[in-house]
Amino acid sequence: MSSLNLDDFATLIERPDAGVRRDAEERRERLVPSAGALGRLDELGEWLAAAQGALPVKPVERPRVLLFAGDHGVAKLGVSGGPAGGAHELVRAVLDGVSPAAVLARRFGAELRVVDMSVDCDAADLPEDVTRHRVRRGSGRVDIEDALTVEEAERAFRAGMAVADEEADSGTDLVVLGDLSVGGTTAAGILVAALCGTDASVVTGRGGFGIDDLAWMRKCAAIRDGLRRARPVLGDQMELLAATGGADLAAMTGFLLQSAVRRTPVILDGVVTAACALVAQRVAFRAPDWWLAGQASGDPAQAKALDRMALNPLLDHGVTVGEGTGALLALPLVQAAAALAAELPERS
């Protein structure tokens, strides 16, 4: 049994400022060009105003790309296009600046941070600032065993909360959230299927690396088996994350909830972040008001989770690589919305 009272989040999390949003909508009516001419950029500007509690909207000047990393034991079943235990290579590519997310973050002027929660490598192989929140080395095979103990899940969840506080305290004004995992989309599929009450085949996608039909069938079977283990603990979100999530997913869930408490807006990336958001929504129903869906990855579990949370993706470019890449592509759009909302003149 977890010692963390998740019910507190439902009380602590408030919606973005509705009064400021109304003022932003009224101000938009007076701007050039006419309301509606900028399409969804208008909506984004008004959302930012409410999230910031300020009018006119302040520019997004200190965005942070935050990537939680972990390996999943279920990858040993051949459910992923990446090698089991391969998250270390993903992390190293980001740190070396040669991953898609690293390239885009550099181009867009966003600082990038990697948080190792359960990468299956010696901690000494990665920088200390990356590994200081690590809970364990790899997560359990969720088709036959728990990913974590409940105590480990709580440690990971609290680590995510701590990271959210660190970012808020440092002045981060927008987070682009992603994952660096191998097998993470399988765990995410289990969570989405369990929370949406659907079958494994409905939520089984091809993953960030792309898989063939045989691997897809293995993944579907793993989600089916994990789903049998998830259903009995649906009433306790910490037990659910322990049974069929993983340390990286538990940390992202804690991060999302505490970011909402701290009024920090977040752009979600792919299916893994969407699954964590869905768990977080079950904990605190107002939390999704602080999030944007950066992109539609084409994963059926992501689509189902976003639909359940009423989040409409900003982009749909077929980006499946994960690692925050798709959400990063949405960052300039959000920054453009802020600039337009703040700087367009009013009609005379």
Q: Which residues are catalytic?
A: 323
Contact 71, 182 (CB under 8 A): yes
